[in-house]
């Protein structure tokens, strides 16, 4: 399978799946068309994720998930304009964002399953770690981080708000599939971890919990806000995303500050 066929396979699902909308919330489309990245399964950066200063020893290598793995496909699902724009007001999360966050992840899981099935049908072994029973989260650090994988696969760089900024912004979700099929890696167009973030501080101003500082994001503060202020009010949905909307990196690369 070449890169164009891979992008077509993913985007046909984005365009055609009935899960990419939420009738009860009036959302016609949760996600717009994807960006797709590819990394070699033996890219040395996967080993670097095992460092305690990055994620930790429990982060598994592609070949620990799938013996004989050759490539890792990572994709970015940008939230549609209707989901992003609804969340531009300050304060509580928009209804569209909450549905996008929860029903959107159900769509993402369906896409992960679809890709695995497509590869298996073509005779190639494939797994999506998030769907595996071995997937786990230890002290808020998972054993397969979609954002770190997306960085390795050439999709974008980290931001002050700890999102990943892609050429289609940071308001969206990531997914990945490991395959035992040789695919040409996509070259990374960056060399620095935070290269696409212009450090404008827009996300600091937007955050209702004060979790983002010039020095970085305090993940525990954000998590506590979601747990205590959002979940009880909006259960079974939750989310916030104010740091990803109405900011220069919402749906594109931010301009560099001169």
Query: Does 211 engage in binding with ligand SF4 (CB under 6 A)?
Result: yes
With H, G, I as helix, E, B as strand and everything else as coil, classify residue 16: helix
Query: Does 240 engage in binding with ligand SF4 (CB under 6 A)?
Result: yes
Query: Does 69 engage in binding with ligand SF4 (CB under 6 A)?
Result: no
Nearby residues of 166 by Cβ (< 8 Å), 6 or more positions away: 35, 76, 78, 150, 155, 156, 172, 196, 253
Could you count the other beta carbons within 10 Å of the beta carbon of residue 113? 13
Nearer to ligand SF4, 51 or 228 (CB): 228
Nearer to ligand SF4, 39 or 160 (CB): 160
CB of 243 to ligand SF4, least distance (A): 3
Query: Does 249 engage in binding with ligand SF4 (CB under 6 A)?
Result: yes
Among the listed residues 50, 56, 110, 225, the single contact to ligand SF4 using CB under 6 A = 225
Q: At what angle do helices 95-121 and 3-16 cross, to 10 degrees?
A: 130
**Between 181 and 200, how does the x/- string for binding to ligand SF4 read (CB under 6 A)?**
----------------xxxx
Q: How many helices (H) and strands (E) in the chain?
A: 9, 10
Is residue 89 a contact partner of residue 96, using CB atoms and an 8 Å limit?
Answer: no
Among the listed residues 212, 237, 246, 251, the single contact to ligand SF4 using CB under 6 A = 212
d(CA 202, CA 205): 5
The footprint of ligand SF4 on this chain (CB under 6 A) covers a number of residues equal to 27
Query: Does 160 engage in binding with ligand SF4 (CB under 6 A)?
Result: yes
Is residue 164 a contact partner of residue 174, using CB atoms and an 8 Å limit?
Answer: yes
CB of 250 to ligand SF4, least distance (A): 8
Which residues contact ligand SF4 (rule: CB under 6 A)? 159-161, 197-203, 206-209, 211-212, 217, 222, 225, 240-243, 247-249, 254
């Amino acid at each position: 399978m070449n890169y164009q066929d891979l992008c077509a396979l993913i985007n046909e699902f984005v365009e055609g799946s009935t899960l990419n909308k939420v009738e009860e919330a009036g959302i016609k489309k949760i996600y717009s068309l994807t960006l797709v990245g590819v990394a070699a399964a033996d890219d040395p950066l996967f080993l670097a994720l095992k460092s305690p200063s990055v994620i930790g020893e429990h982060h598994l290598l592609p070949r620990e998930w799938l013996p004989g793995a050759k490539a890792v496909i990572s994709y970015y699902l940008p939230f549609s304009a209707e989901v992003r724009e609804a969340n531009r007001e300050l304060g509580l999360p928009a209804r569209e964002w909450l549905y996008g966050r929860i029903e959107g992840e159900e769509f993402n899981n369906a896409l992960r399953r679809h890709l695995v099935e497509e590869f298996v049908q073509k005779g190639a072994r494939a797994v999506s770690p998030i769907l595996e029973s071995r997937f786990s989260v230890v002290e808020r650090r998972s054993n397969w981080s979609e954002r770190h994988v997306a960085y390795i696969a050439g999709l974008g760089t980290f931001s002050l708000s700890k999102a990943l900024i892609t050429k289609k912004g940071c308001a969206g979700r990531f997914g990945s599939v490991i395959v035992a099929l040789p695919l040409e890696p996509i070259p990374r167009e960056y060399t620095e971890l935070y290269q696409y973030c212009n450090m404008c501080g827009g996300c600091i101003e937007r955050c209702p919990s004060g979790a983002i500082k010039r020095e970085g994001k305090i993940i525990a503060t954000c998590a506590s806000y979601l747990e205590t202020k959002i979940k009880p009010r909006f259960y079974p949905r939750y989310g916030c995303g104010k740091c990803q909307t109405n900011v220069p990196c919402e749906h594109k690369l931010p301009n560099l500050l001169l």
